[in-house]
Each structure stands twice: as structure tokens, then as C-alpha cells.
Structure 1
């Protein structure tokens, strides 16, 4: 049999009241808590999706970890790669040669990072091959001086596959007229779109051997790019390799080279959590108002219960049950609707766009044309737990006030 405090508390939540305003505020409190919880779950899921999408786009071009030598020169890259491969977390590696240059096509001139790669090995450390929209990565052949440009860079130069571009590098040739920049004509053999403006507007790929000839590096490279079995262990693997590698090297992982992106997303996520939590707090204030008015409305009932032997603690528990019911029901409703919406954001957003005849994420403005969402159940548990805690705390003062009512004073005018 249920305790009488629980029975009476539940009866107060659904029994017909003479004061319908109390019932209205109770419904508003439930709706407010449900709305706050739903908004928190959906917004955090969307931000998790953005974070994962951003990470995927960055690592589609960048590697998990890079090893470079002093002066951007690494003489024995095969030996360095062999040493690094002894670490169990290292899956594969590929050499690269980096240089800055100017690309020109007629009157269009743009600066870019020129990266020399081995196409077969590059596919083992990054997903760049799947971002090549026109042509393919294997079109880079040694000695043919082909080049693959980022989509924005190709647009600014006004070139397409098959067109010629001129590359000027700052490493100059000494002539009787002075130091002249090295100039080489390349053929555009492909265009990629990584979805990151930084890469699409400022990165060009050529074959590693062509880069070595152009930069007169011999067999040297700029460094080695590594892929790990777990990208989140990159900082730990960096420290391990710093201790195990023999020689002077610079080690950089993806969390260091793109720290600002992920730090900004993490800070924004925390701030959005705190801001949206205020919705739940405001709804909790409504619970306080509801219980205060309920206590005033039920003073005679409280006095009768006290004269029948109910203790102050029992009276307090009755109104805690009433307020907790509002919080629990609102939280469960918010969690259910929030999870349902977060799992179907990709379906709901197009429906809203069709309904209002507007494009929320136009492809010509945003690289991410669809709203990403990733539901993390630990976030759902934290949001639900905090909502229940706030709701429970909101019941304490009105319930305590109810337990302090003097039966004689309450029944004097009855």
C-alpha cells in the first residue's frame, strides 16, 4: 500500500480544484520544463554534430600527427617512419613536402600552400581522395607536373582540369640579373572540395617528386604525416614519440594545429548549455508559485491532517510529491520530445524549409548544407538529472512553509 503522503500528494496533482489558476500554472510549469529540456537536448546534439562534422572535414585533409625536421627538411623519412611505426597506435604514414608559392593564370594571381604528396600513400593517412570532385588523386604522375587545386582556389584563378597555371616559388635562382623566383608551368588535373575554406582557397597538391625537383630538395621531404588507430589519443602518442624517436624533430598533432576551432566550439557548447538551462530554472520558479498558492488553498486540509496526527514532515512530503510530479512529468516529456527531435533533425529541418518556403542553409553560402546532429546519451542523462534536481529544490521552501502552518490559526475562521 502506498504511503498516505504519496497518495495525497498525487491526488492534489490531478484532483479538481476550486482555483483553476493553480492548475494553469502547473501546466505552464510542466510545459516550461519540457521545453527547456527539449531545447537543451536538441541544441547540444546539433553542436555535437557540428563538432564531429568539423573534425571530419579537417582530418579529411590534415593528418592525425605530423613529424617534421629542422628547417622544414627531413633527410631520411623512411627511417623516421619506421621508428614511428614501432608505436602500436600508428597505423600508417606518408611523406610530404610543403612550400609557399604564387599561382597565376593570366591576370589572376593567388598565393597558396603547395604540398607534394605520394598519391598512393596519402590515401592511407587522410580521406583527401574522396574530396576530389573533378579528376582523381592518382592523376598526379611524377615528371608530368600535374596539380590539383582547391575548389575556391580554382574559381579565383578561373581554371578547370586541363588548363595551365604558372607556379612561382620564393626559392630563387641566382642569375647575372639577381635572384629570380623559380617558375614552372603545371597542368590542372583535378579539383577538390574539402568543405573547409582554409584548404579550398589556399591548398594545391602536386606529386612529391615534382615538389622535390622544384624546391631542389633531393631525396629530402618536409616531414611525415601519420594516421593513428584512435585520433583522440594523438596528444598521448605525440609525447610517446617525442621520447622514442632518435634525432631532432618537431611533432604536431591535430589538436594543436586546429586548437582554436575546437576550443571555440567547446566554449560555445558550454555557454549554450548554461543559457538554455535558464529556461528550466524559470519553469522551476513557476513550481514555487504553484506550491505556494496550493499551500494557501489547502490550509484547512493541512490543519485537519495535523489534528488527525499527521506530523510536519508528512505535510512537507505531501507537497514535495506534488511539486516533484510536475518536475518529473515535465522532464520525461522534454527528454522524450528532445531525443525524438534530435534523432530526426535531418528530416524536420527540410519540412520547416518547405513549410515556410525558405532555405536555412543555402549551399552557395554554407559548406554544411544540412544540419548535423549527434545524440550523446550521457548529455541526455546530465540534462535530465539537472532538471529533476532543480525541480526538487524548487519544492523545498513551499513544502517547509506548509509544514509550519498552525492548525488552530488555519481553522479559526472555518
Structure 2
């Protein structure tokens, strides 16, 4: 390496640039994927469990003049749900379990009618999944036997505010009077327009689901493990329907795979280019140092020993270049964050940095094999005679 410092510095700088590109691309793609997943699944269940009966028989209420035939009145009833929750709690990878009661209701005022989706839940556990409490913009984040939470758009459409009373028409035709304790903004038009958060026990009572739940919502540590975990749960409860988020997310998965494939291809191309550069420089060094190598062999140096010199040199070039590239890459990320100010956090994973350094060093070692073999095949007699 000291024979031609300019040559060595050039190849180390080239490796550093390649490593910096790998670190920047890997961190950017990882961050984009994490941001995309958070936006789509951050406040949604990763696994959804219901009874699989999406359209139970429609019930005609004899004492009501209205026939409710637009939706099933006995949809989704999971019995003995506490045993299921106890089973799910044994999985360390599951971080949130939220049993809910879901049902429909109508709200009519001043000639306008809106269909509402009511979710009955324990607010504390539900907040871990849906992040409700922190997004209550007015009033108090309280639900009980009398109080509910509604969305900002529903409140705006009907000029409602915290403390107002609403009268809901239930599927059985009965009226239920509730008070608005708070108004939330879930940053979703549909939820802000039609979602009503209700106390779990109250929802059980008004929808006649005492002792049962409509569904169980689960969030796990690794969203991509949802299909595997869902399959395990499905085998345990074959009469229920276990739905991982991936079932209806083909486009999202394709986009994530395309991003990962692009990142992988870029890193492979950069690694191959740097490996070829190291091999070329070391091969030229062998040709330049043929006389010295021949003299060393004539003095008793083993072929293997002289060959190992180039493998070690390749490892040093790869390692030094990767360390320099590490600092360069982190600097590029810092520059990008300050300049572009992306609306997502750039994630730098230490394990990926270690992997990139390892691969760069390994590629340096592999690149040194070709010139090492060339060196070991040199005959000292022929080299000295040619000189």
C-alpha cells in the first residue's frame, strides 16, 4: 500500500464512496418503508379476528313498522372471548389486544341522517391501538355508560360540541340517548364522519352482545409476521376467521418488495464495482512488483506467504474504505435531512452498518485472491532472468 500511496488512496476513496451510497440508500429505503407502514398500519390492527359470519340471517322485528334489511343485526358474535384473549396473551410478539363491540346506528337531525359505526371498547387498551386520547381536540377523553366520543367532521356537519346530547336509532328500532364528552380528530375523513367510540359494557348491552364481542384486534411487534401468527391462531380456533393485514394489501406488499429489490440491486452493483476495482489495483501491483516478489522467493519466501500479502492488503483496503465510507455516509444522511427536511425520520440501523462494513472487508479479501494466485504462480528464476 505504501508503494503507490496515490493509487491506494484513490481505491480507498472509491470504496468509501460506494459504502456511503449503500448506507444512504439502505437507510432511505428502510425509513420510507417504515413511514409507509406506520401511515397505513400505525392505528390499525395487524390481525383481525371475527366469527367469520359476515352476513348472519336478517331479523324482522315484529313490533316495529320498519324492516331493517340493509345490514345483519346479529353479525359477528365471538363467545367466550376471554379465553381467546388469555391464549393470545401467551405470545410475546403480540403487544396489543383490543376486544371490541361493533354495530351500526343512525343519527338524524334537521332532516339529515348519517349512518354511524359504533365501536365499544375499553378506552385505555383501545388507545394503545387507535391513539384516541391524544387526538381529542375538544372536551374530555372519557367514555362511560352515558358519554361517547365523536369525530370532528360529524360534529361540524351537525354543529355539535362537547356536552351536547345525541339520540341514536339502533338496528332494533330503539332509541339510545348519549352525551358527547369529547371530539377527536383521527386524521381520516371516514372515521371523523361516522365513527363513535362508546364504552365497552354499554355497547354490549345496546347491541345484545352480553358476554360476547364482535371482534378482537391485535397489533404485533413485526407487522410482516402477521401471516405466520395468523395461521397459528387460525389452527387453534378453526371456527373463527383470522385475517392478517396482508390478505388485502397486495399493492402495498408489491411496493415494499420493489423498494427492497431496488436497494438490493444498487448495493450488489456497488459491491461488485468496488471488488473489481480492488482486484484490478492489486493485480497491477503484482505486475509492478514482480522483481521484488521474485527476489523474495529466491531468498526463501514461500509462495503462500507472498500470496497472503495481497489478501491482507485487499482486506485492509476494504476495511479502511468501509470505515471512511461509514462516516461519509452518515454525513450524507445528515446533509440530506437538513437540506430536504423529509416528513419522515431517517432510520440508521447499526446492524446494517456492521453488515456493510463486513461485506466490504470480505469483498476486499475475495478481491485479493486473484492477484494472490498470480503472485504465487510467479517463478523467481523467470522473473529475475526477464529483468
- When the two structures are superposed, what TM-score results if normalisation uses the length of structure 2? 0.69
2:81 corresponds to 1:80? yes
SS in 2 for 1:138: coil
Residue 14 of structure 1: aligned partner: 2
Residue 4 of structure 1: aligned partner: none
Distance change in 2, residues 1:106/1:160 (3 Å)? same
Distance change in 2, residues 1:349/1:370 (3 Å)? farther
Residue 137 of structure 2: aligned partner: 134
Distance 1:46 1:86 in 2: 38
Distance change in 2, residues 1:401/1:230 (3 Å)? closer
Pairing partner for 2:371 from 398, 405, 413: 398
Distance change in 2, residues 1:122/1:304 (3 Å)? closer
> Which deviations, in whole Å up to 9, do the C-alpha atoms of 1:125-145 show, x marking residues without a partner?
514225515136735666677
How far did residue 248 of structure 1 move? 3.2
> Which deviations, in whole Å up to 9, do the C-alpha atoms of 1:106-161 show, x marking residues without a partner?
99x9x998352335255365142255151367356666775225xxx789979896
Residue 382 of structure 1: aligned partner: 355
Higher relative contact order (CA 8 A, sep 6+): 1
Count, aligned residues: 356
Contact 2:98 2:121 in 1 (8 A): no
Contact 2:18 2:271 in 1 (8 A): yes
SS in 2 for 1:382: helix
Pairing partner for 2:123 from 120, 123, 126: 120
2:347 corresponds to 1:373? yes
Contact 2:120 2:204 in 1 (8 A): no
2:279 corresponds to 1:288? yes
Residue 5 of structure 1: aligned partner: none
2:192 corresponds to 1:190? no
Contact 1:331 1:384 in 2 (8 A): yes
> Which deviations, in whole Å up to 9, do the C-alpha atoms of 1:36-71 show, x marking residues without a partner?
223323433344444445555555422343221212
Distance 1:382 1:113 in 2: 51
Pairing partner for 2:303 from 303, 312, 321: 312
2:234 corresponds to 1:242? yes
Distance change in 2, residues 1:294/1:116 (3 Å)? same
Contact 1:135 1:189 in 2 (8 A): yes
Q: For structure 2, list consecutive stretches of 5 or more residues without a partner in the other structure.
A: 56-74
Pairing partner for 1:71 from 54, 70, 81: 54
- When the two structures are superposed, what TM-score results if normalisation uses the length of structure 1? 0.65
How far did residue 275 of structure 1 move? 0.9
Contact 1:40 1:277 in 2 (8 A): no
Distance 1:103 1:320 in 2: 80
Residue 95 of structure 1: aligned partner: 100
How far did residue 261 of structure 1 move? 3.6
How far did residue 172 of structure 1 move? 12
Pairing partner for 1:40 from 22, 32, 35: 22
How far did residue 272 of structure 1 move? 0.2
Distance change in 2, residues 1:318/1:239 (3 Å)? closer
Distance 1:160 1:35 in 2: 59
> Which deviations, in whole Å up to 9, do the C-alpha atoms of 1:300-344 show, x marking residues without a partner?
212222332334333322333333321221123334555x559xx
Contact 2:97 2:125 in 1 (8 A): no
Distance change in 2, residues 1:145/1:242 (3 Å)? same
SS in 1 for 2:100: strand
2:335 corresponds to 1:322? no
Contact 1:59 1:126 in 2 (8 A): no
Distance 1:40 1:101 in 2: 55
> Which deviations, in whole Å up to 9, do the C-alpha atoms of 1:262-318 show, x marking residues without a partner?
564355234303312322321222212212322222222122223323343333223
SS in 2 for 1:63: coil
SS in 2 for 1:126: helix
Contact 2:151 2:184 in 1 (8 A): yes
Residue 178 of structure 1: aligned partner: none
Contact 1:63 1:126 in 2 (8 A): yes
Contact 1:93 1:124 in 2 (8 A): no
Residue 181 of structure 1: aligned partner: none
Contact 1:119 1:137 in 2 (8 A): no
Q: For structure 1, list consecutive stretches of 5 or more residues without a partner in the other structure.
A: 1-12, 18-22, 174-183, 354-358, 362-368
Residue 225 of structure 1: aligned partner: 216
How far did residue 205 of structure 1 move? 3.5
How far did residue 27 of structure 1 move? 1.9
Distance 2:268 2:108 in 1: 51
Contact 2:278 2:364 in 1 (8 A): yes
Matches within 5 A, 1:150-189: 189=182
